[in-house]
């Protein structure tokens, strides 16, 4: 028969020649695929990766501590608490063996028996019903492949599974696997999953709970009891039956275990689910700043996977007080803002329709910048105030509020949108340690702007101590120098500027000491007039650590005496500490040292200070 087939397709080839051809074909095919497989493995396989399996599979979060060694925060992409094999309940191990790999303790990474068994079942059913991957293969797939479905991925997976089995014991493989798998709700590993789903550690988990845990990884979005109780029950019952078939539990106890568990657990699901969202991060603005510094120095992997221990200058006790009192005063300021705005809106009611009429003739933007403004201000003062209020509420555009109802609607909407913000930073003047920092009213995905560091605001009267210190240190003034607090005027570019005191009154002759205590604007301007912009620029640069361009931008007129300099709260805290430090300026510090997860020093910031204290003014 074979001879006839050969002669039909290859009439000139003998049977012996055909057999030799087939043999050579198999030999060369074997060599080709062997070389191809070898090149594939050599190009993809890195023996160091297998040795670093724990690091790759179980990334540890970076821990941030305060200066007293108290844990402030943990930074992670995966919510996980790694545990050793001995800290995992035997029932959990049995449950996963039952549902994932019943021959785990007997194969060498790949189960030929499972492959043939799955192949037969899939052929008989006409579709993929059962997989043949062992727990070791699943681990290799998760760590060393991207999970795509093709023969090359399977080859790489099998190869790594064999190498893992050579490098690690079965207990170590199971430990890494159970610490690595995902259980939904951000939980990775059996310890975190046990705490989330049962409120206990993995070591305390019983048979029923273990079977439920083993049910979830196949599809956390389907089988989690927090997502679908019915699906979770069906899957858990299947796992219990598998455990019974392997002798881990008695067959006649499956229904009893299942029923008793759900009678108690079903009432706890909602309360456990609510606790998942409870994650209090202390000093979030401070921690976020530290995260950015570490990320820039060592990369994101160091932040989320290295297990680094970062010891900072934060003092949790002071941070708690800072947050407490800043919240009190922010809420007070918010109430004041809401009350005064509501009163102003109510006062404007009689003028709303009149405003609409006026706006039809004079667009509000032109009113603000034309001679008509002076006329309106003289004759209709209330109207003038109302127009400015409404223009601000409506975005400084042409007024179209022709009814009080519409005006009130706009006012209420803007009142809800506008929120008083805040910031606080506290440094230890002795060493420059930043011990407390609050960057805003709350830390959220929509509010991560750190106003303590990033917000630049005009200093106003808080600038006066620096102005007076410049004059005294330059030996142009003394604390006893006398100035006359009186109306003054300065003319430049054809315009007149007449600074006034906050209270609107004048004190006559005063010493510099009293002028600072009373925060007299007119005296401050006279001080700058006497010492000159050059002297003020020089000292401002040293007090605040600014560049020449930054100083020239803000210290450029007599108005600079009243605090036109724009700096952050941290800048002000550092500059103010100069007075406490006997005239020297020290750079602020946030991080003391970084250690790896074993306690080995990575970087000591206390020995790597950027610059020594700078003498700004004499003691």
Decide: 602 and 594 in contact? Cβ < 8 Å. Answer: yes
In sequence order, which residues have a C-beta less than 8 Å from that of residue 255 and are 6 or more positions away? none
The residue annotated as part of the active site, out of 100, 209, 435, 595, is 100
409 among known catalytic residues: no
Angle at 412 between CA 406 and CA 413, to 5 degrees: 90
* CA separation for the pair 202, 406 (Å, rounded): 60
* CA separation for the pair 421, 101 (Å, rounded): 56
Greatest pairwise CA separation for the chain in angstroms: 128
In sequence order, which residues have a C-beta less than 8 Å from that of residue 282 and are 6 or more positions away? 72, 73, 316, 319
CA dihedral 224, 229, 233, 236 (to 10 degrees): 10
* CA separation for the pair 70, 66 (Å, rounded): 5
215 among known catalytic residues: no
Angle at 140 between CA 136 and CA 127, to 5 degrees: 80
CA proximity to 423, closest of 303, 357, 327:
327
Sign of CA dihedral 529, 531, 534, 535: negative
* CA separation for the pair 128, 215 (Å, rounded): 20
The residue annotated as part of the active site, out of 49, 201, 295, 461, is 461
* CA separation for the pair 213, 440 (Å, rounded): 40
* CA separation for the pair 135, 375 (Å, rounded): 85
Active site residues: 100, 461
């Amino acid at each position: 028969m074979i001879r006839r087939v050969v002669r039909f397709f290859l009439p000139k080839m003998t049977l012996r020649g055909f057999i030799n051809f087939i043999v050579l074909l198999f030999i060369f095919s074997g060599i080709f695929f062997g070389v191809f497989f070898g090149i594939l493995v050599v190009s993809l396989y890195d023996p160091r990766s297998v040795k670093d399996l724990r690091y790759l599979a179980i990334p540890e979060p970076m821990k941030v501590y305060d200066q007293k060694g108290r844990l402030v925060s943990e930074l992670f992409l995966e919510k996980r608490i790694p545990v050793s094999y001995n800290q995992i309940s035997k029932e959990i191990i049995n449950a996963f063996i039952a549902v994932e790999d019943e021959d785990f303790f007997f194969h060498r990474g790949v189960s030929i028996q499972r492959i043939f068994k799955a192949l037969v079942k899939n052929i008989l059913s006409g579709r993929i019903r059962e997989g043949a991957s062992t727990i070791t293969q699943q681990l290799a797939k998760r760590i060393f492949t991207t999970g795509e479905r093709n023969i090359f991925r399977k080859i790489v997976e099998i190869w790594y599974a064999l190498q893992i089995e050579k490098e690690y014991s079965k207990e170590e493989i199971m430990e890494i696997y159970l610490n690595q798998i995902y259980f939904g709700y951000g939980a990775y590993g059996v310890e975190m999953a046990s705490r989330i789903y049962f409120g206990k550690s993995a070591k305390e988990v019983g048979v029923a709970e273990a079977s439920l845990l083993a049910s979830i990884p196949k599809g956390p979005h389907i089988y989690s009891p927090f997502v679908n109780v019915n699906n979770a029950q069906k899957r858990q019952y299947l796992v219990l039956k598998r455990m019974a078939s392997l002798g881990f539990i008695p067959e006649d106890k499956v229904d009893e275990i299942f029923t008793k568990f759900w009678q108690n657990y079903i009432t706890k699901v909602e309360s456990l689910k609510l606790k998942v969202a409870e994650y209090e991060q202390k000093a979030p603005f401070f921690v976020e700043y530290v995260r950015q510094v570490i990320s820039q120095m060592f990369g994101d992997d160091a932040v989320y996977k290295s297990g680094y221990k970062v010891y900072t200058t934060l003092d949790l006790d002071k941070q708690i007080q800072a947050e407490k009192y800043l919240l009190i005063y922010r809420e007070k300021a918010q109430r004041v803002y809401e009350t005064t705005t509501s009163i102003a809106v109510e006062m404007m009611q009689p003028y709303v329709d009149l405003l609409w009429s006026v706006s039809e003739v004079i667009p509000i933007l032109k009113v603000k910048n034309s001679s008509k403004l002076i006329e309106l201000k003289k004759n209709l003062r209330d109207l003038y105030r109302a127009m400015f209020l409404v223009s601000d509420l409506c975005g400084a555009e042409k007024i179209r509020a022709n009814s009080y109802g519409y005006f009130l609607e706009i006012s209420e909407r803007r009142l809800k949108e506008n929120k008083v913000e805040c910031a606080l930073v506290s440094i230890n003047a002795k060493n420059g340690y930043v011990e407390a920092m609050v960057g805003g009213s709350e830390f959220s995905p929509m509010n991560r702007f750190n106003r303590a560091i990033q917000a630049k605001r005009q200093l106003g009267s808080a600038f006066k101590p620096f102005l007076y210190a410049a004059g005294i240190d330059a030996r142009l003034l003394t604390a006893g120098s006398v100035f006359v607090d009186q109306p003054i005027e300065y003319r430049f570019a054809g315009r007149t500027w007449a600074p006034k005191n906050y209270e609107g009154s004048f004190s006559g002759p005063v010493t510099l000491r009293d002028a600072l205590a009373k925060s007299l604007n007119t005296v401050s301007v006279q001080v700058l007039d006497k010492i000159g912009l050059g002297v003020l620029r020089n000292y401002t640069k040293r007090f605040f650590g600014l560049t020449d361009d930054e100083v020239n931008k803000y210290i450029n007129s007599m108005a600079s005496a009243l605090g036109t300099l724009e700096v952050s709260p941290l800048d002000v805290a550092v500059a103010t500490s100069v007075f406490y430090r006997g005239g020297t300026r020290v750079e602020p510090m946030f991080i003391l040292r970084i250690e790896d997860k074993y306690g080995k020093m990575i970087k000591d910031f206390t020995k790597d200070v950027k610059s020594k204290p700078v003498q700004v003014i004499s003691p």
